[in-house]
Structure 1
């Protein structure tokens, strides 16, 4: 998953076209894996399907906004603004699952967003970096909502099956955006970028995101957040070697604050769970 930032900057297509191709490739790969392994595919048309459809749309919105964030900024800023999502999850989970917030969660959220303050050069939508960070934080919000929704339902079916349905639904929903209008140019552009799109669809999406969803069955979302806090660090390193992007000192300070808030919140949650 760390490769998504560099690929989002590298692929010279609009975010909508990238995400459609990503979903199409990922859904095709997961369908083959499900058929080969014999894992049940059909989940019915009831409550679970509606949940998967809604969470899939949230995932699509998250991806499109994230890739806009990357195109407006850099690998470092795009990924770090997205990685406010674990703290947003800590704020949203009590509200969505019906239990009381703690002041510590609010303070940690404020710490995380103070890190975002270091990323923002000026508070003006005329500045591309500010626009990109806004997309990144919006992407984080949608990602948090999607993860909480999936966490509540992951025990019913394989994470691979749920991911397949999300990608399939997204590829169908987004097809008109790509194929209506100048569809010929879009198809030619996709064909010209097939190698990085294949990496994005297979390695980052079909494998990376499916393993991420499957981990919900075995770990709390907070514990997963600790592990995934390495993602932007790895992504920045990949961006340095592939795109020669060197983060500024302010970005590194802001990133350190954001990741510190994630680790603090995760450690607090783990201690709380162990004391139960």
Structure 2
């Protein structure tokens, strides 16, 4: 019975990671700027998550007044993360955007010792250098006017914002489920982005709106639910390691659906970034179990 539950959880986890990777495709499939995509994604996802919490008998209101402050901070950070994430891929390619973003596991390993007033291990410094080199390989030049270079830089900024969000969530908001936290962050993001919303959505077709709904429901709300369900049944190390497959899933989907063929430098840079992320993930969880 236990083995059956774990197999089911593994299926849920791989499905969630595949859907997370597929999120990147919508930067190309939806004819809107990154800011507008983020707003509509958050609005629709918030509605679905609110219904989800109510159906499961969970309260939507937060427990303490200070939690609203931290929920707002998290919402601001995740809002900027999503906008830069989609903008990165709109300027470059799905592969470059996702791989640049996946420098975040190394950022976490560097930031956590600093926050905990611990010494940063030499191996983590070496890992950060390898990741920096991998990211640099994906840049066609160091010319800031080059769109691909801009995409790489935005991908790294998105990773830094995601790192900040994860560390803040762990310290100040982990008493709430992933779905509840995502609902709060999505609502805050909507409020922030509303004044900057463009008019392009008025020109969207019914098919475009369907694609946007698909992003919000199937590629945002659903994978968060599956991911959290798997997290309750599988070791954290397994969850984090499988999550490192996200760039592979995203790049493969972009090749099949968008016809984006990654260059050799992107593949080499991606190999360095993803393998280093996997190494840091395994090392972190190994240290925690000592």
TM-score by length of 2: 0.86
C-alpha distance 54-210 of structure 1, shift in aligned 2 (>3 A):
farther
SS where residue 268 of structure 2 aligns?
A: helix
SS where residue 193 of structure 1 aligns?
A: helix
Checking the alignment, whether the CA contact within 8 Å between 1:160 and 1:214 is kept in structure 2 is no
Checking the alignment, whether the CA contact within 8 Å between 2:99 and 2:273 is kept in structure 1 is yes
Q: 2:154 aligns with which of 118, 135, 138?
A: 135
Match of 1:169 in 2: 188
Match of 2:83 in 1: 64
Q: Distance in 1 between matches of 2:60 and 2:93?
A: 38
Q: Distance in 2 between matches of 1:219 and 1:102?
A: 28
Q: Return the offset for 1:217.
A: 7.4
Q: Distance in 2 between matches of 1:2 and 1:114?
A: 23
C-alpha distance 217-198 of structure 1, shift in aligned 2 (>3 A):
same
Match of 1:83 in 2: 102
Q: Return the offset for 1:12.
A: 1.2
SS where residue 204 of structure 2 aligns?
A: helix
For structure 1, which runs of at least 5 residues remain unmatched after alignment? none
Checking the alignment, whether the CA contact within 8 Å between 1:154 and 1:216 is kept in structure 2 is no
Q: Distance in 2 between matches of 1:79 and 1:124?
A: 21
Q: Distance in 1 between matches of 2:225 and 2:189?
A: 15
SS where residue 67 of structure 2 aligns?
A: helix
- Alignment pair present for 1:53 and 2:75: no
C-alpha distance 46-221 of structure 1, shift in aligned 2 (>3 A):
farther
**Cα deviations by residue, 1:49-81 (Å, 9 ceiling, x for unpaired):** 211211111111011001111011011111101
Q: Which moved more, 1:244-253 or 1:263-272?
A: 263-272
Q: 1:230 aligns with which of 241, 245, 269?
A: 245
- Alignment pair present for 1:243 and 2:244: no
Match of 2:10 in 1: none
TM-score by length of 1: 0.90
Q: Distance in 1 between matches of 2:168 and 2:231?
A: 11
SS where residue 152 of structure 1 aligns?
A: helix
Q: Within 5 Å, give how 1:24-39 maps onto structure 2.
A: 24-39=43-58
Q: Return the offset for 1:144.
A: 0.5
C-alpha distance 239-165 of structure 1, shift in aligned 2 (>3 A):
same
Q: Distance in 1 between matches of 2:115 and 2:74?
A: 14
Checking the alignment, whether the CA contact within 8 Å between 1:223 and 1:270 is kept in structure 2 is no
Matched pairs, number: 271
**Cα deviations by residue, 1:6-59 (Å, 9 ceiling, x for unpaired):** 111221111111000000000000011111111121104522221121111111
For structure 2, which runs of at least 5 residues remain unmatched after alignment? 1-19
Q: 2:277 aligns with which of 258, 262, 265?
A: 262
Q: Distance in 2 between matches of 1:109 and 1:155?
A: 27
**Cα deviations by residue, 1:200-244 (Å, 9 ceiling, x for unpaired):** 111222122455567777889876542211011001111111101
Checking the alignment, whether the CA contact within 8 Å between 2:74 and 2:169 is kept in structure 1 is yes
Checking the alignment, whether the CA contact within 8 Å between 2:102 and 2:273 is kept in structure 1 is yes
Q: Distance in 2 between matches of 1:138 and 1:186?
A: 27
Q: Within 5 Å, give how 1:109-124 maps onto structure 2.
A: 109-124=128-143
Checking the alignment, whether the CA contact within 8 Å between 2:70 and 2:173 is kept in structure 1 is no
Q: Distance in 1 between matches of 2:165 and 2:236?
A: 12
